[in-house]
Amino acid sequence: NNPIPVIAIDGPTASGKGTVASRVAERLSFHLLDSGALYRLTALQALRRGVELRDEHAIAKLAEHLPARFVGGDVFLNNENVTAAIRAEEVGNIASKIAALPTVRHALFALQLGFREAPGLVADGRDMGTVIFPGAKLKVFLTASVKARAERRYKQLIDKGISANMDDLLADLQERDERDTKRAIAPLAPAADAHLLDTSDMTAAEAVEQVLSWYAHA
Ligand code: CDP
Ligand code: CDP
């Protein structure tokens, strides 16, 4: 019964959640929660401090005391801008491993609820509509074929001047899909009341218009 509206955008990696969520937030002048960034920040901390992924207690501690700040489109750990660092594929893979730990999800729960501020919030991730904001005014589940998603990631990397191998990308993506959908806690799945949007043959702009139109009628 929180009156501040939430638009939940969930889906697998490279389905376009981040792009669509940030554009929708901009159009509505809503706040934005990139929940994946919180798992990535925790992963980056673990990587840098050499914390073993088996050490669930230590990883959860990192999540609990995450010195994260979001300024404009940038992400900071304390005063360090880690916007680019958290996007590394290695960090995404570790993020997906620690995201299966119940203690980590628990530690990040309240932090995520805190992003719900007037006039509204667009939240993107895996469990925005199912676990974090089950009362969201609009829930969207974005999908796209594995091939389309791997091609998007490939293009993003090449555009950033990072060399990439399509076969490795495909393998990583499928491994991460598998881990995210099969985990016991908050698995990636559309909420029962989510609108499904397959963007395999859509531009990001078209996906944004569809979401805005659903919201206008929600
Ligand atoms: O957040 P998520 O991992 O789901 O995806 P993203 O980081 O937003 O990356 C999606 C990439 O695919 C971006 O480079 C978009 O420009 C592009 N794209 C899209 O988001 N949606 C489409 N319908 C087509 C392309
Ligand atoms: O951009 P991409 O979709 O590849 O990943 P992300 O949204 O930045 O999330 C990184 C990882 O964090 C995912 O593979 C998930 O395992 C995890 N995650 C999650 O479990 N729950 C969320 N709400 C968001 C991310």
- How far is it, in rounded angstroms, from Cα 109 to Cα 203? 32
- How far is it, in rounded angstroms, from Cα 179 to Cα 95? 11
- List the beta strands (DSSP E) in 115-213: 121-125, 138-143, 195-198
pLDDT of residue 86: 96
pLDDT tens, position by position, 121-164 = 999 999 999 999 999 999 999 999 999 999 999 999 899 888 88
| 141 Cβ closer than 6 Å to some ligand 2 atom | no
What is the pTM (predicted TM-score) of this model?
A: 0.95
Tell me the mean pLDDT in the region 31-59: 96
pLDDT tens, position by position, 100-112 = 999 999 999 999 9
Q: Which residues contact 24 (CB under 8 A, 6 or more apart)?
A: 7, 9, 30, 122, 208, 211, 212, 215
**Which of 82, 93, 126, 188 has most ligand 2 atoms within 8 Å of CB, for mutation?**
126
ipTM above 0.85, yes or no: yes
Q: Which residues contact 131 (CB under 8 A, 6 or more apart)?
A: 186
| 39 Cβ closer than 6 Å to some ligand 2 atom | yes
pLDDT of residue 89: 83
